[in-house]
Amino acid sequence: MEKLTFYALSAPEKLDRIGAYLSERLIRDVGRHRYGYVCIAMEALDQLLMACHCQSINLFVESFLKMVAKLLESEKPNLQILGTNSFVKFANIEEDTPSYHRSYDFFVSRFSEMCHSSHDDMEIKTKIRMSGIKGLQGVVRKTVNDELQANIWDPQHMDKIVPSLLFNLQHVEEAESRSPSPLQAPEKEKENPAELAERCLRELLGRAAFGNIKNAIKPVLIHLDNHSLWEPKVFAIRCFKIIMYSIQPQHSHLVIQQLLSHLDANSRSAATVRAGIVEVLSEAAVIAATGSVGPTVLEMFNTLLRQLRLSIDYALTGSYDGAISLGTKIIKEHEERMFQEAVIKTIGSFASTLPTYQRSEVILFIMSKVPLPSLHHPMETGKTGENRNRLTQIMLLKSLLQVSTGFQCNNMMSALPSNFLDRLLSTALMEDAEIRLFVLEILISFIDRHGNRHKFSTISTLSDISVLKLKVDKCSRQDTVFMKKHSQQLYRHIYLSCKEETNIQKHYEALYGLLALISIELANEEVVVDLIRLVLAVQDVAQVNEENLPVYNRCALYALGAAYLNLISQLTTVPAFCQHIHEVIETRKKEAPYMLPEDVFVERPRLSQNLDGVVIELLFRQSKISEVLGGSGYNSDRLCLPYIPQLTDEDRLSKRKSIGETISLQVEVESRNSPEKEERVPAEEITYETLKKAIVDSVAVEEQERERRRQVVEKFQKAPFEEIAAHCGARASLLQSKLNQIFEITIRPPPSPSGTITAAYGQPQNHSIPVYEMKFPDLCVY
């Protein structure tokens, strides 16, 4: 062997003839089953290949690859393994000169076939599969970085390589269970096809360029589809974790796009399959968020929200094509519910990894998809349409709650912009109790910036709130501006939410948490005064009972007011205020415990059947509170005013029926500032004819305005300069005369108290008399 190597190095031009001779001998020995000579020939070829790197090695390589192919075609496992080992050695050699005509198609196909070996002997099967994986790894190493070689990223190659590696990855549990003891684990790891396949897959994906990611990911999705591996989800999640951690971070969004496209392609698949894809998407998105997600953020949320709407339709119709199928409806509803929960969980987990500015965009995007019964957002009519609208609203608000949980934003103006807050609060007035509860929870998530929410999960009247260990910061300037702009809107919706008959304990707990968090996060003296007025108005609702509320609701409102006033009195630290609240609470404990949260907000509430004759000692008195707080610098005049919410037409409309069921709307506008309370503007009836007339009139006005503009433009384009100058001069003189009149009215001094002087022709004339010469009555002199 040493002489042969020396001869080949001394005469490189003879190398191709040496290779041809050895190839001929090996083919003949294989045919005659002389396997010893086969091993000698391959050993000689391997050593020559490792020693020679001359320019004429290409012809020798052709002979070498022909012999390796001959060994791989053999049915003998030992010859297949021998050929694979030789090919792996060849793959690790860096050639000096490229080859323009070499093809590896046969090797890809044959190594992939070996990866799927089903030999009866378990040990031999493992060796063959490992040889196949090593062979694929060698092909990848040999071709992936050489542009002149065959393009290994073509779909025809990837469709064989990737499924072969995934097939061996599936048996990782079996391989681990065969490990007899921890002491032998290192040896078994070397013999484990699953571990080797994972390393090969990671190496393959790590070498993938931007344009090759799609061809590498598509076979993975097809393999998971063909083998129904989305439903257990475990293997699919493991595969994509390998993918996400192996590729370059800037390519992560390409994988997310592939998964989104695959989810859309499987829109009509079983709910369990779609749920598996969404779970995988959730895991991949969280990993991708640490790298570069890029423009796929809104695309991802748009796809998930679209899938939510489709799932709602499937659950309502019981079929993927809209036809009702009674036989499968119950099962399908259960599966679709699981899918919807998976989508909502994915939305929340991905949003939690986004920066604040992207999270704000996602929140606005989701809110824009919520169907609202307003003039600008008509909803579907009919029973099916109502169910679809309700389910859509609930699912989207659940998603919004997931996104808003843990949202940290120092500026409430950016966290709750006007367009978002208006749409969110309009849903707070709907009849559906579940929707109202979601809205309250969402508001709490936005306002709670110091993690105090869980401390108010139970409504109680603590004698010392220091045990809660509240985190309180001074109200910032931005928060003050936010409350000046939106406080009355928030108070109105809290007040109206308290009056709902369908409220349960969770609603009152959410309302208490919202009031408490506003007091801690956003309160200044003015806000504290308004919140106290609001809670006292809620107490009046329970006392007067114009809404005919049930007994539980009235007791709950009394208890809610007691709990909040107990909290705010200790936050304000005004001794007289705290004393009054404490006295009323102690009186209630003795005479009316059904007006305190400890007796109302329990599993079995202890209520009173008669709440009509509540004595004044059991109530928090507005006059007393304004008196004690006024002495501590609070605005007592404002405290004396009872809180009256200002209802808007949009609130009435969003609270009740949808547009399709609203035949006519009676709009009454009451002038609150007029001294004469009896005078009201007559109600205007809005019907189909008035709406049609308004639309036609608006079109006519637009046409007239367009014609006027056209005439003005044409005049300035075609009219002579003198005419244009005269026109502008006339307008200027008219403006000047109006200004002169205004100046004369504003600058003219007041008339003399001594009277007027009659001028010529009998016309009275006012004289300008200096102020120091005016004669004032005696009553004006102090």
What's the pLDDT score for residue 339?
92
Q: Is the pLDDT of residue 181 over 50?
A: no
- State mean pLDDT over 328-349: 81
Confidence band (pLDDT; 50, 70, 90) for 387?
confident
pLDDT top residue among 19 and 54 = 19
Q: Is the pLDDT of residue 607 over 80?
A: yes
What's the pLDDT score for residue 400?
92
> Amino acid letter at 688?
Y
What's the pLDDT score for residue 701?
77
- State mean pLDDT over 379-399: 78
Residue (of 489, 533, 431) closest to 648 by Cα position: 489
Q: Is the pLDDT of residue 604 over 80?
A: yes
Q: How far is 768 from 773, CA to CA, in rounded Å? A: 10
Q: Is the pLDDT of residue 196 over 80?
A: yes
| Residue indicated by tokens 């001869």 | 7
Burial of 665 (0-12, 13-18, 19+ CB in 10 A): middle
Reduce the DSSP state of residue 243 to 3 states and report it: helix
Confidence band (pLDDT; 50, 70, 90) for 665?
very low
Q: Is the pLDDT of residue 83 over 80?
A: yes
- State mean pLDDT over 611-621: 85
Burial of 682 (0-12, 13-18, 19+ CB in 10 A): exposed
- As given in the structure block, the two tokens for residue 150 are 């065959």
Q: Are 491 and 443 in contact (CB under 8 A)?
A: no
Least confident range from 411-420, 511-520, 738-747: namely 738-747
pLDDT top residue among 779 and 13 = 13
Q: How far is 581 from 625, CA to CA, in rounded Å? A: 9
pLDDT top residue among 7 and 248 = 248
For 582-612, the DSSP string reads HHHHHHHHHH-GGGSHHHHSSSS----S--T
- State mean pLDDT over 321-337: 63
Q: Is the pLDDT of residue 22 over 80?
A: no
Q: Is the pLDDT of residue 667 over 60?
A: no
CA angle 252, 256, 259 (to 5 degrees): 140
> Amino acid letter at 334?
H
- State mean pLDDT over 496-502: 91
Burial of 691 (0-12, 13-18, 19+ CB in 10 A): exposed
Q: Is the pLDDT of residue 451 over 80?
A: yes
CA angle 85, 88, 92 (to 5 degrees): 145
CA 480 from chain center: how many Å?
28
The per-residue pLDDT for range 686-745, each reduced to its tens digit, is 676 676 666 766 667 777 888 888 888 877 777 788 778 777 777 777 888 888 888 777
What does each C-alpha distance from 489 to 418, 492, 495, 641 come to in angstroms?
11, 5, 10, 18
What's the pLDDT score for residue 761?
39
Rg (CA), the chain: 41
State the chain's mean pLDDT as an integer: 79
Residue (of 301, 430, 434, 340) closest to 377 by Cα position: 430
Which alpha helices (H) appear in 231-270, and where do they start and end?
Answer: 234-246, 252-265
Q: Is the pLDDT of residue 673 over 60?
A: no
- State mean pLDDT over 289-310: 77
Segment (H or E) for 389: helix 382-404
Q: Which residues contact 59 (CB under 8 A, 6 or more apart)?
A: 15, 16, 19
Q: How far is 176 from 207, CA to CA, in rounded Å? A: 28
What's the pLDDT score for residue 733?
78
Q: What is the pTM of this model?
A: 0.71
pLDDT top residue among 318 and 371 = 371
What's the pLDDT score for residue 344?
92
| Residue indicated by tokens 């912009």 | 417
Q: Is the pLDDT of residue 280 over 90?
A: yes
Residue (of 239, 215, 218) closest to 229 by Cα position: 239
| Percent of the chain surpassing pLDDT 70 | 78
Q: How far is 245 from 260, CA to CA, in rounded Å? A: 19
| Percent of the chain surpassing pLDDT 90 | 28
Confidence band (pLDDT; 50, 70, 90) for 183?
very low
- As given in the structure block, the two tokens for residue 732 are 């200027």
Confidence band (pLDDT; 50, 70, 90) for 754?
very low
Which alpha helices (H) appear in 154-266, and where do they start and end?
Answer: 155-169, 172-177, 185-190, 193-206, 213-226, 234-246, 252-265
Confidence band (pLDDT; 50, 70, 90) for 17?
confident
What's the pLDDT score for residue 677?
37
pLDDT top residue among 767 and 422 = 422
What's the pLDDT score for residue 185?
45
What's the pLDDT score for residue 54?
54
Q: Is the pLDDT of residue 136 over 50?
A: yes
The residues pairing with 686 across neighbouring beta strands, listed in sequence order, are 665
3-state helix, strand, coil in the chain (%, to 5): 70, 0, 30
Q: How far is 464 from 467, CA to CA, in rounded Å? A: 7
Q: How far is 192 from 171, CA to CA, in rounded Å? A: 9
Q: Is the pLDDT of residue 206 over 50?
A: yes
Q: Is the pLDDT of residue 360 over 70?
A: yes
Q: How far is 412 from 420, CA to CA, in rounded Å? A: 12
Residue (of 398, 404, 433, 583) closest to 508 by Cα position: 433
Q: How far is 511 from 515, CA to CA, in rounded Å? A: 6
Q: Is the pLDDT of residue 534 over 90?
A: yes
Least confident range from 60-69, 123-132, 465-474: namely 60-69
- As given in the structure block, the two tokens for residue 155 are 């779909």
Confidence band (pLDDT; 50, 70, 90) for 291?
low
Confidence band (pLDDT; 50, 70, 90) for 670?
very low
